[in-house]
Amino acid sequence: MNGEKTGKTLKRKYEFGELLPPRLGKHHTKEAKIKISVYQQNIPGGEFDDFVSSKNERARKSKQYAEWRKAVFERDNYTCQWCGGKNGYLVSHHKKRFADYLELRYELNNGLTLCFECHKLIHKLEKRKQILITKEVV
């Protein structure tokens, strides 16, 4: 019964700003993030190389990627190449995976403009190995 009362008291203090939730506004250090990642992925000690996605994330945030993305949209006239739609959020899709084909990351012929919905569908079908997008864009 006492724990329930304490919980309600803390909740009230959080709601009225008398007390801040633990770690609010604080960030983990890189070392702490590595320890958490190693633990969650069951990586044996000493085998952690680096965050896998960090290299891909840096590449996707580069100026070269932004230029490639814009060139793909312009070539496809800002139109989804599957459904022909021009409305909504457009995505630049890599026909050959960004992470696996480093040499094709910024090749214009490896890009395809898709709307968000078609992009989700394509990845779903690719996951099921029902399609493989290799056709050349005219």
pLDDT at 51: 62
Mean pLDDT of 50-73: 84
pLDDT at 138: 34
Q: In which band, very low, low, confident or very high, does the pLDDT at 136 lie, cut at 50, 70 and 90? A: very low
Residue with the bigger pLDDT between 90 and 18: it is 90
Measured CA to CA, the distance from residue 78 to residue 73 in angstroms comes to 5
Residue 14 above 80 pLDDT?
no
Nearest CA-CA partner of 114 in 59, 61, 137: 137
Mean pLDDT of 55-74: 90
Tokens encoding 85: 């739609």
Residue 137 above 90 pLDDT?
no
pLDDT at 31: 82
Give the number of other CB atoms < 10 A from CB of residue 72.
24
pLDDT at 117: 92
Residue 29 above 80 pLDDT?
yes
